[in-house]
Amino acid sequence: MTSFTRTRARFLTTVAASIVALPAAVLANNHTATDGTAMTAQTQTAPLIARSALFGNPTRAAGQISPDGQWLSWLAPKDGVLNIWVAPADDPAAARAITSATDRPIRQHFWSPDSRGVLYIQDKGGDENFLLYRIDIASGAETTLTPFENTLVRIVGGSTTHKDKLLIGINNRDPRWHDVHLLDLTTGALSLVLENNSYARFMADDSLTLRMAMRQNAAGGTDYFSVEDDVVAAEPFETTAMEDALTTMPAGYTTDGATLYWIDSRRRNTAAVLAQDTSTGAKRVIAEDAKADIGSTMRDPLTGEVQAYAVDYLKTEWTAIDPGIGAALAWLGERLDGDFGVSSRTDDDQTWIVWNDPLTQPVSTYIYDRTAKTLTPFYTSRPALAGMPLQVMHGLEIPSRDGLTLPSYLTLPPGSDADGDGRPDSPVPMVLLVHGGPWGRDTYGFNSTHQMLANRGYAVLSVNFRGSTGFGKDFINAGNKQWGLKMHDDLIDATQWAIGKGIAQADKVAIMGGSYGGYATLAGLAFTPETFACGVDIVGPSNLETLLETIPPYWAPVVKTFHERMGDPNTEEGRALLRAASPLYKADQIIKPLLIAQGANDPRVKQAESDQIVSAMTSAGIPVTYVLYPDEGHGFARPENSIAFYAIAENFLAECLGGGAEPLGDALVPSSAQIVEGAQHVQGPEARRGG
């Protein structure tokens, strides 16, 4: 059980898309921070933030403390690749690396409940077949706990009382379904608990007893079944309709199993935290907010009781239920500027790992001793950003044409806003940066892409368009079957708003994004070809029909969500809707420069999604630049590839919008980037053409 639980409804992260271009911009390597014709004089004189400082390896990241408080752990480079490091809590200088990843960075780790080992998950080349590994702290021995091929592991449950075991789901028997196993962390032994041929998810209590099974119903909602003696009941004890499917979900049991918490939007719009008595079924509201879903909770590490909750509308605001937690948060708030949060806690709740985002300085992490009332620096993730011209992110509300309010975030170039009112003194070029999902959201705080683009002379606008999560079910459901329609209108409305407010230059707006944001880029260039000056697509789908035909097999249990929210390919009406919303079929209308980046191993948005729109464009004589990464999946894990991509992208945008750029130099050399199409537009050493 985690003590600091993110409950925001990111139930499914799905598609991505691409954009299209006409005279694909020349990506010369001679741009500097001061050669952008559209840059303000103040921006031209601001120090250039190196790509490596924003997208290279952090010095340290993901710091944690073991449940018993004896050990610190974090991710840090070893021979240039992120690995797991540990040190005694009373002697952080005695750090040692306990893993030896040599190619793909380790990006997520956590402590075993007994504090005797560190666990992590890792896939191969971005294929998202994540296996589970354990390192014994005493001996240093590493064990592959799920030694299977083509398998994705899921954590079903952990325990504060049975610390040497976990419940995990493994889909090695049938890729569609995760069978539940009991894992002995000491011996590595796996014992089958329940063979699964029907259910999407399971939940257990602290005794590692299965208590609940979840299955999508015919309407696209979710049915919740009780489990007794590892047998699933025939009828559900709770159910949701499709309208609540992304905003209602169980949030875990208290340690004694007497209370089941829910994030629940049934009979309301925004999701509240409810506590259900498991013996009587009675529910009571713990927390609610009229403008936004409850996004996060803090729960007692031992009892599992909710102690505080967060509402994240434009910014995150915490409210404490437990007086002790309230006092601790208030104490931290008096000493930390900007945003902060708790990422790890000891079982006795005396020591916290606290991150702090000052917004215009690099994010730092501290060790907070609640008893001694001390806040000890742990590390700064990206110290090279200290003293750099990091810019404030402004939260704002933008109206849509049909009356919705779109919570959004704007970052401006350095020196462009003399009076600090969140508006530039004169219009500047702008990048509309679209989030993925689409059932996800943009949030407030440090954002590497925002900072790089603002540093190069652009306003950067991120819009939570309808369909985004966090703002109530009405806002999500307003996006149902609106791909390329009202969801796209929201992005156009936000762009026109920025132009009308004197933020953006009308002829110098680019659109950029990954996953759904890539789709939005393609749609922007194909459906509204005169609106955007150019676009950058990262792993974005171009054909919604083929996208749904090739979803990962382990998404089969929730496929109805896609059909109800995008269009059902099994019906004539649904197929027509999907086809009309697919940029592939309007590729010939793309008249502006397009850059596409794709991971060859992407299991969500297959390489074919990028291949087919590139083929359609080249067949029609429309230039496009297409970069393929053979060792990546749905996005970039290796920093060498991230740096190479942003090197290409910022020079592309400089040519298109007139901003600045760090020279391309040899950024592509250490990466796996293959220039499949448009290599003549990527000038630099070792530009490689794919086979």
d(CA 296, CA 339): 14
**The CATH number of the domain where 669 resides is what?**
3.40.50.1820
Tens-place pLDDT, residues 287-329: 999 999 998 999 999 999 999 999 999 999 999 999 999 999 9
pTM, to two decimals: 0.93
Residue 202 falls within a domain, yes or no?
A: no
Q: pLDDT per residue over 133-152, tens digit each?
A: 999 999 999 999 999 999 99
Q: For residue range 325-336, what is the model confidence (pLDDT) as tens digits?
A: 999 999 999 999
Q: Is residue 540 located within the same domain as residue 673?
A: yes
Active site (annotated) includes residue 450: no
Question: Is residue 592 one of the residues assigned to a domain?
Answer: yes
Is residue 689's pLDDT more than 50?
Answer: no
Provide CB contacts within 8 A for 165, sequence distance 6+: 159, 182, 183, 184, 185, 208
Give yes or no for residue 678 having a pLDDT over 70: yes
Same domain, 346 and 487: no
Instruction: Indicate the SS3 state at residue 573.
Output: helix
393 and 540 share one domain: yes
Tell me the HSE value of 533 on the side-chain side, using a 13 A CA sphere: 21
- CB atoms near residue 685 (< 10 Å): 11
Confidence label for 38 from pLDDT (cuts 50, 70 and 90) = low
- Mean pLDDT for 233-253 is 97
For the cut 60, the answer to whether the pLDDT of residue 460 exceeds it is yes
**Mean pLDDT over all residues of the chain?**
92
Locus of tokens 């099994």: 570
Q: Domain for residue 147, yes or no?
A: no
Catalytic residue chosen out of the listed positions 602, 631, 671, 681? 602
Whole-number Å distance between alpha carbons of 430 and 433: 9
The arithmetic mean of pLDDT across residues 421-449, rounded, is 97
Catalytic residue flag (residue 634) = yes
Q: Determine the distance from the C-alpha atom of residue 8 to the mean position of all C-alpha atoms in its chain, rounded to a whole number.
A: 11
pLDDT above 50: residue 574: yes
pLDDT of the residue at 44: 72
Measuring CA to CA, how many Å separate 463 from each of 448, 456, 546, 635? 17, 20, 27, 20
Answer yes or no: is pLDDT of 646 > 50. Answer: yes
Tell me how far apart the alpha carbons of residues 360 and 49 are, in angstroms, rounded to a whole number.
13
pLDDT at site 41: 64
Rounded Cα–Cα distance for residues 313 and 395 (Å): 9
Residues 300-320 as b/e (b if ≥16 CB within 10 A, e otherwise) read: bbbebbbbbbbbbbbebebeb
Each residue of 500-556: pLDDT tens digit?
Answer: 999 999 999 999 999 999 999 999 999 999 999 999 999 999 999 999 999 999 999
Residues 328 and 390 reside in one and the same domain = no
* Together in a domain, 338 and 468: no
Per the structure, the count of domains in the chain is 3
CA 539/CA 462 separation, integer angstroms: 18
One domain for residues 506 and 560? yes
* Of 468, 515, 542, 582, catalytic: 515
Same domain, 522 and 659: yes
For residue 207, tell me if it sits in a domain: no
Residue 367 placed within a domain? yes
> pLDDT band at residue 650, thresholds of 50, 70 and 90?
very high
Please check whether residues 432 and 529 belong to one and the same domain. Answer: yes
Beta strands in 517-623 (DSSP E): 534-538, 594-599
Q: Interhelix angle for 448-455 vs 639-657, to 10°?
A: 40
Q: Name the DSSP letter for residue 158.
A: -
Confidence band, pLDDT 50/70/90 cuts, at residue 681 = confident
Q: State the pLDDT at residue 682.
A: 79
Euclidean distance between CA atoms 492 and 389, whole angstroms: 30
Q: Is residue 104 part of a domain?
A: no
Tell whether 129 is covered by a domain.
no
Predicted confidence band of residue 683 (pLDDT cuts 50, 70, 90) = low
Tokens of 215: 């299955």
pLDDT at res. 39: 63
Note the pLDDT tens digit of each residue in 89-122.
999 999 999 999 999 999 999 999 999 999 999 9
Can you give the pLDDT at residue 29? 29
Q: Tell me what pLDDT residue 273 has.
A: 98
Q: In the predicted model, is pLDDT for residue 7 greater than 80?
A: no
pLDDT of residue 2: 31
**Which pLDDT value is given to residue 15?**
25
Close Cβ partners of 479 (under 8 Å, ≥ 6 residues apart):
438, 465, 466, 467, 468, 486, 487, 565
**Tell me, what's the pLDDT at 36?**
43
Q: Is 515 a catalytic residue?
A: yes
Q: Which of 264, 634, 642, 681 is catalytic?
A: 634
Average pLDDT (439-461) is 98
Residues 493 and 639 in one domain: yes
pLDDT of 13 strictly over 90: no
Helix orientation angle between 486-500 and 516-527, rounded to the nearest 10 degrees: 70
Q: How confident is the model at residue 11 (pLDDT cuts 50, 70, 90)?
A: very low
pLDDT tier at 629, thresholds 50, 70, 90:
very high
pLDDT exceeds cutoff 50 at 19? no
How confident is the model over 559-565, as a mean pLDDT? 95
Quick one: average pLDDT of 172-193? 97
310 belongs to a structural domain: no
Q: d(Cα 213, Cα 232) in Å, to the nearest integer?
A: 7
**Amino acid letter, 277:** D
Nearest to 9 by CA among 232, 217, 248: 248
pLDDT tens digit sequence for 356-380: 999 999 999 999 999 999 999 999 9
Query: In whole angstroms, what is the distance from residue 545 CA to residue 15 CA?
Result: 12
Q: Are residues 377 and 390 in the same domain?
A: no
- CA–CA separation, 321 vs 573, rounded Å? 49
- Give residue 343's domain range: 322-381
Query: Do 628 and 667 reside in the same domain of the chain?
Result: yes
Strands (E), 371-502: 374-380, 393-399, 405-411, 428-434, 459-463
Q: Are residues 271 and 376 in the same domain?
A: no
Q: What average pLDDT does this structure show over 453-482?
A: 98
- In this prediction, residue 679 carries a pLDDT of 85
CA distance 515 to 240: 27
